[in-house]
Structure 1
Amino acid sequence: MTAWLMYLGKDPKRVGGGYDDNSATHYSWDSRVPNATSVRVGDRIVLWDGESSLGLSVIETIETGTGTKDLSSCPKCGKADIAPRKTMTPTYRCWTKECRAEFDRPAVETVDVLTYRARYEAGWIDLHGHLTAPELRALCEEKKSQNALRRLHWDEFRARVESGRNATPLSVIDRAEDVIAGGHAESVVRVRKGQPAFRAALLTTFGEVCAFTGSMPATVLEAAHLYSYAKKSVHHASGGLLLRRDVHRLFDLGEIAIDPHTLTLDVAASTRAYPVYDRLHGRPLTVPVDAGHRKWLAKHWDMHRGSLVAIPAQTTGLLDPVTAQ
């Protein structure tokens, strides 16, 4: 898998391109951008704003579409190497060495393009300001490249991030890659069958509540299976909870597990390095669960935390999420 340094800043070409971006969730580009078709699901991406790093993640999906784009160029030589000047007139100058023309308005051509949007929010790690622009450029395969999408030396980048003053562990990235590489292709069709009804049933049972973090808008809640749906292809009545997207992914990765005896959250040490998830460690579930839920939670715990003694049988009723022990 390839690692990419992706520019998300205020360069006029990017701002004028009308890209829909959110640094922690998704990044957009089009077919006119160099390396546009080389980016793949499962690739690692590092975002920066031209001055320092913003964060990194692993691409979960890439959405494609069609659109148009206005291309500005020098009216004299036709090259696109132009930039506006804030205080000088004429407003524009062509930076092509053989041209150097100055002009007030560029030539504009509207062209058809393919559009791409990478989504990666579940594995997002905030690295705002961890690495400077010179440090990031030095880690690129082509250090003098001006492209928005640049190949990155991943091993060198990782060593730099995981050491030094602002050392940050990246083990979550490894787990995310395993899930994306090993599970998506098999389950992408089957996972959608009956999924809307399954989610609707969970909303009826629990309301608009994330089982880990509490009340949330329904739009951010996902129906999370407590078992591998790709293997079973069945929506068990007590086999799911509503989870916010990011904690859903961490649960799938085993970075968050539920102690089936105490019904409290156990957050892996690597993920507790981030305060937003460290605060969840040891907290009780925010919704009541029954014996079926506890059975599946015990299997999940056994897979990711090791064996536990058998869970006492519970045959009726819901268990209070705080007092059930």
Structure 2
Amino acid sequence: MTDPLSDVIRLLRPRAIYSKGISGAGRWAVRYAEFGQPGFCAVTEGRCRLAVDGEEPVILEEGDFVLLPATPAFTMSGFEPAPVVRIDPATASPPDREVRHGRVDGPPDVRQFGGYFAFASPDADLLVSLLPRMIHIRGVPRLTQLVRLVGEEAARDDIGRDLILERLVEILLVEALRAAPTQEARPGLLRGLADPRIAVALRLVHGDVERAWTVPELARAAGMSRSAFFGRFTRTVGVRPMEYLLSWRMALAKTLLRNGDMALEEVARRIGYGSASTFSTAFSRHVGLPPGRFMRQAA
């Protein structure tokens, strides 16, 4: 069965960039500037406070995992008032040892393993918009184990390192997203896949992107009237059904064009357009430049 979530992650092409142990003791507080890249952490010991801009503050405890697909500004701290140390991850040099906040001696109050990675896809903003802004998961030990594996592999200088890191980060993302609570998630792909009727339509679109899908067809497959399906899809996923289909087709088209080894007519056929000219018009309107120029710039 087609898995839209895996499709999106494969298209995002995550790459591990940095991961490191972090601990805190006594009075401490750090404020990270907005970063935009995906960030993550797994708490391996103790507890601390996390306040992500635009989200309710949470207490992180041993075994918790947090994923921020686009890392907005956030503050992490202990539970006693402390001066805030400001950090800009875009300019700060990655440390070569565990990062320690607050009191430098004695046992830590909290220890975690965290870091960030990058999405190689230029469509990352579009695809990340379909994911929750903050994912906080409890009681999934596999995520902590995966984070440790990412850190261990990143520290090695061995053959196959980059390939292993790519696969580990992909697995980490899939595990995190499928374990994420969806009841209170904002509209997006996860909420859509959690809705049995809307999930049918999403899987059909991803499973046969060449087909000339219509809203009535997708509604029938979901067992709903056209108007009920249209409203439910829009509320749940955050975009109208045909907008989602167009965005997904164009994201696939960009990937095919960047590879540079496929004729325009074949690209058009692969994503459901009857002719290269029809595809070129739609692509130019959506992307802002014609496919040929996009392909040359990508090369």
TM-score, normalised relative to structure 2: 0.29
**Bigger helix share:** 2
Q: Greater CA radius of gyration, 1 or 2?
A: 1
From the two aligned structures, give the one with the greater strand fraction. Answer: 1
With a CA cutoff of 8 Å and minimum separation of 6, indicate the structure with the bigger relative contact order: 2
